[in-house]
Chain A
Amino acid sequence: MAIWGDGAMADSKVEAQKLDETLTRRVADLARLELSEDEVRTFTSQLRDVIGYVEQLQEIDVSGVEPLTHPLEPGDSALREDRVEVFEMVLTSGADSLNEGYKVPQIL
């Protein structure tokens, strides 16, 4: 299942002020987060505050402004040569591994 791009969120043009528990549950589901009922209630009200606060950005004229995703200027950094290196240690970061793979719970 695609997390983005299936238009799931686009169907519901919910205004930020109307952020409700259904939307909190839906977003939490997209983020694969289990929330308790208490968390759903608290987060909904807190997120409503924060989204309400960031609404102020809508008042700025940003027409023609290129988004800045990164503070480095062109030429400040450089990519290294693309060489194959083997990092055996990577697997040890996971919860469980077997031979040369991650061990996951049986899903079929």
Chain B
Amino acid sequence: MDADKLETIRAIHDSFDKKQTSVVEVTRYFLDSIKKNGGKSGLNAFLTVCENRVLAKAEAADQILSAEGKVPRDRLPLFGIPLGIKDNLTMDGVRTTCGSKMLDNYVAPYTATCVQRLESAGALCLGKLNMDEFAMGGSNENSAYGPVQHPTQPERVPGGSSGGSAAAVRAGLCVAALGTDTGGSIRLPASYCGIVGLKPTYGRVSRYGLVAFASSLDQVGPMARTVEDAAILLDVMSGHDPRDSTSATVSKGAYREALGKAPETQAEWSGIRIGVPKEYFVGGLSAEVQKSIQSSLRWFESKGARVIPISLPHTEYAVAVYYLIAVSEASSNLARFDGIRYGVRPAEAENADDLAAFYRKVRGHFGPEVKRRIILGTFALSSGYSEAYYRRACQVRRLIKQDFVTAFEKVDFIAGPVSPTTAFKIGERISDPLQMYLNDIFTIPANLAGLPAISIPSGTEAPDSLPIGFHLIAPPFQEERLLSLAHAFEKRGAAR
């Protein structure tokens, strides 16, 4: 089978229309690729493969295809498209581990709204993707099931926490995938692996069926090879869900359609103002990344867009604010893993003297990063400290959001790097959590303010051709404009 005909939704649908391949054939191709390269002996990207479930759906799709003669795109925009799902999103009857031993045997009794919407639009979910335990991490080294390898440089990390998703998409183990982004967990691995990753506005995609890490920050989003595919996935899965009280009632856009409105003429481009925060070009930013971002900005200028220096003065506090708020929410959310409502019940816990001792035994099975964050969060929320830590962090969060509100009075988008560096080596930073946290400096602010943001491949770093991601942030619920600008940027190579 011709692999480049299987890279995008459009290409696969064309092959179906031309009867060059069947849905079952395409599905088997991806299942074989996962067997060869997706498991423990390969990238370690897939934790669970739903072979029978997905083949049954593929056979049903082939019947539709032979009855209708062509892909029913309007009714089923993801018809026959094999996807991967991050393992913190539930699928009915499928194991959902969250990358944790705590949920090693957890089989979800219901399907997450976003996944259910993808399947109702014809998508075929191949399986569940590896991730940092409970999405806590930026390198995928915190998975209880072992690290995911970078898809082109096996000794390096793919980024995290949606590292399995990014590696699988880049390596061609699925056409696109779902990730989740609490502090950069979609955009960072997308940047490290050279794919497109979109974190939608907080509330744009339902979190029902997403195992909560930090409820005021978590958001589900698409990871794909092209902006168009990301837009198609967002079209399908966004919109209000009565099952999630934080899902927005703001009407959704027509995201794929919006790509056709990408700026083309000089006049259209001259109406676009891109803000570049001086705080995003500070010490620690690698020279190669900085060069790539500046060359991307020059491209926008050459098209006629106005690139405007701006300031987001509270940026330097974002990491501190984030790590207090995220861990506080996590310590509360993860209280449910007590071995009774959720969680494994190890043999030694059964003999515990009392219930408190039972909980301690059960919860001792969290991995080190999760324990570290629960302890930090419990500390930040505890009586005597919560004023100084949690409450103050929430106050500074408002100042950070206000920085963006002020900036967006003068500009339409904000641009910069996704990460200070390209993919680092496995093991290189694991012993220094603070250093690892500081890596999220450019992605965290969009989560704190709830803004949509995207990582688009912008170049590579020599000598290993490690991908570099370009970061665009937009005002709330402006995904249509964000995707259309990203689409124009993505096409720049072809137009040259």
Q: Which single member of B110, B317, B363, B399 contacts A89 (CB below 8 Å)?
A: B110
Least CB distance from A45 to B in Å reads 10
Least CB distance from B345 to A in Å reads 4
Q: Contact mask B352-381 → A, CB, 8 Å, 1/0?
A: 101110111101101010011011101101
- Ordered by A's residue number, 22 sampled pairs between the chains whose C-beta atoms are within 8 Å are A1-B356, A11-B384, A30-B382, A33-B371, A39-B368, A43-B372, A47-B375, A50-B433, A57-B321, A57-B392, A67-B397, A68-B394, A71-B203, A71-B449, A71-B450, A72-B202, A77-B249, A78-B240, A78-B249, A93-B109, A102-B340, A107-B354
Q: Is the CB of B247 within 8 A of A70?
A: no
Judge if B343 is at the interface, Cβ distance under 8 Å.
Answer: yes
- Please give, as numbers and ranges, the residues of chain B lying within 8 Å of A24 by CB-CB distance: 375
Of all chain A residues, which has the CB nearest B217?
A71
Q: Is the CB of B371 within 8 A of A46?
A: no
Known: A56-B317, A94-B340. 12 other contacts (CB 8 A): A28-B378, A32-B360, A35-B364, A54-B389, A56-B320, A60-B314, A60-B317, A62-B392, A72-B246, A77-B246, A77-B248, A95-B345
Q: Contact mask A67-96 → B, CB, 8 Å, 1/0?
A: 111111101111110000000011011111
> Beyond A67-B395, A76-B203, A77-B203, is A95–B343 a contact (Cβ under 8 Å)?
yes
Judge if B396 is at the interface, Cβ distance under 8 Å.
Answer: yes
Q: Is the CB of A53 within 8 A of B434?
A: yes
Q: Is the CB of A76 within 8 A of B375?
A: no
Q: Is the CB of B248 within 8 A of A4?
A: no
Main secondary structure of the interface of A (DSSP, over half): loop
* Count class of interface residues, chain B: 35 or more
A32 to B340, CA, bound (A): 14
- Please give, as numbers and ranges, the residues of chain A lying within 8 Å of B352 by CB-CB distance: 105
Q: Which single member of A8, A46, A93 contacts B342 (CB below 8 Å)?
A: A93
B→A interface (CB under 8 Å): 106-110, 202-203, 216, 240, 242-243, 245-250, 314, 316-317, 319-321, 323-324, 331, 338-345, 349-350, 352, 354-356, 358-361, 363-364, 366, 368, 371-372, 374-376, 378-379, 381-385, 388-389, 391-399, 401, 433-434, 437, 448-450, 476
Q: Which single member of B356, B383, B433 contacts A8 (CB below 8 Å)?
A: B383
- Please give, as numbers and ranges, the residues of chain B lying within 8 Å of A92 by CB-CB distance: 107, 109
- Please give, as numbers and ranges, the residues of chain B lying within 8 Å of A13 by CB-CB distance: 384
Q: Which single member of A9, A56, A77, A105 contacts B383 (CB below 8 Å)?
A: A9
Q: Is the CB of B376 within 8 A of A47?
A: yes
A67 to B448, CA, bound (A): 12
Q: Is the CB of B361 within 8 A of A34?
A: yes
- Please give, as numbers and ranges, the residues of chain A lying within 8 Å of B109 by CB-CB distance: 89-90, 92-93
Of all chain B residues, which has the CB nearest A56?
B320
> Beyond A57-B317, A65-B399, is A80–B388 a contact (Cβ under 8 Å)?
no
Q: Is the CB of B382 within 8 A of A95?
A: no
Least CB distance from A104 to B in Å reads 5
A51 to B245, CA, bound (A): 33
- Please give, as numbers and ranges, the residues of chain B lying within 8 Å of A27 by CB-CB distance: 375, 378-379, 382
Least CB distance from B400 to A in Å reads 8
